[in-house]
Amino acid sequence: MFSKILLFDIDGTLLLSGRAGYRALTRAFEELFGVPRGFDGIPVAGRTDELILTAAAERVGVAVDPPARARFHRRYCELFAEEIHFPGPRKGLMPGVSRLLDVLARNDAVRCGLVTGNFAEPARIKLEHFDLWRYFGFGAYGDDAPVRDALVPIAVERARRTRVEVRGPDDVVVIGDTPLDVQCAAAAGARSVAVATGSYDETALRAAGAHAVLSDFRATEEVVDALLGAAAG
């Protein structure tokens, strides 16, 4: 049986971690490169962790070769596992997320995965902290490719390896809260549903070309209809 693949972004779409990622990035950068507050002012919404690190390093003139990137990645993951337990601004699930994922998990025609700029290990830690990891059987992450536009095909291929049958791009929907989520769907020929729970309002998300735009996930039945309607084209 063919399935619809729903690929969710994490931050601003499913949850907010209370800036745990920012704190861990900042601590790791200062420890390894001696630069405090290295990520202040660096754009992060919709971008991969790899590109965020590159932007911070270029701004302060730090050379980050592959071994240095590997050390940063390892230390960042260790620090994130600590920081996720501390309180922070707006930390928690976005409205309607738990009920929506429960409903989708019971739909045999749908399979849920992830497309996120987060590195894979912090993504897992974050979702396990909020008891959401169990809903996602596959995904693509910021350490799979530095550019978000490359992530959707990786996630679809991983879905197929778990024996998910998908006919083509029209049966793949990317759900996110930024124009970059919409863009990465378009780059793969997939559909997109944008949700205005992050840094962008509904007007900006429509202008980005999303196939459907939602205010949030609270109206579960309507949200499911929008997700499946987007996949149907």
**Per-residue pLDDT tens for 98-116?**
999 999 999 999 999 999 9
217 and 139 together in one domain: yes
Q: Which of 83, 111, 136 is the last residue of a domain?
A: 83
Mean per-residue pLDDT over the chain, rounded: 94
CATH code of the domain covering residue 192: 3.40.50.1000
Q: Which tens digit of pLDDT belongs to each residue from 139-161?
A: 999 999 999 999 999 999 999 99
SS (H, E, C) the chain: CECEEEEECCECCCEECCCHHHHHHHHHHHHHHCCCCCCCCCCCCCCCHHHHHHHHHHHHCCCCCHHHHHHHHHHHHHHHHHHCCCCCCCCEECCCHHHHHHHHHCCCCEEEEEECCCCHHHHHHHHHHCCCHHHCCCEECCCCCCCHHHHHHHHHHHHHHCCCECCCHHHEEEEECCHHHHHHHHHCCCEEEEECCCCCCHHHHHHCCCCEEECCCCCHHHHHHHHHHHHHC
Question: For residue 232, what pLDDT is reported?
Answer: 64
Predicted TM-score of the model (pTM): 0.95
Query: Both 25 and 11 in a single domain?
Result: no
Q: Give pLDDT, residue 124.
A: 98
Q: Quick one: what percent of the chain has pLDDT higher than 70?
A: 98
Tell me the per-residue pLDDT of 51-87, one tens digit each, with 9 for 90 and over. 999 999 999 999 899 999 999 999 999 999 999 999 9
pLDDT for residue 127 is more than 70:
yes
| 24 and 128 housed in the same domain | no
Judgement on whether residues 24 and 98 belong to the same structural domain of the protein? no
Do both 114 and 204 map to the same domain? yes
pLDDT band per the 50, 70, 90 thresholds, residue 172? very high
Residues 223 and 137 in one domain: yes
Residues 12 and 57 in one domain: no
- Average pLDDT, integer, range 204-214: 97
Residue 228 lies in domain: 4-16+92-232
Specify the number of domains making up the chain.
Answer: 2
The whole-number pLDDT of residue 230 equals: 79
> Is the domain of 124 the same as that of 149?
yes
Considering the domain architecture, whether residues 36 and 108 belong to the same structural domain is answered as no
pLDDT score recorded for residue 2: 72
Specify whether 72 is located in the same domain as 118: no
Is 90 exceeded by the pLDDT of residue 12? yes
Q: Is the pLDDT of residue 94 over 70?
A: yes
Percentage of the chain beyond pLDDT 90 is 87
Is residue 197 pLDDT above 90, yes or no? yes
Together in a domain, 25 and 12: no
Q: Does the pLDDT of residue 46 top 90, yes or no?
A: no
Whether residues 108 and 185 fall in one domain: yes
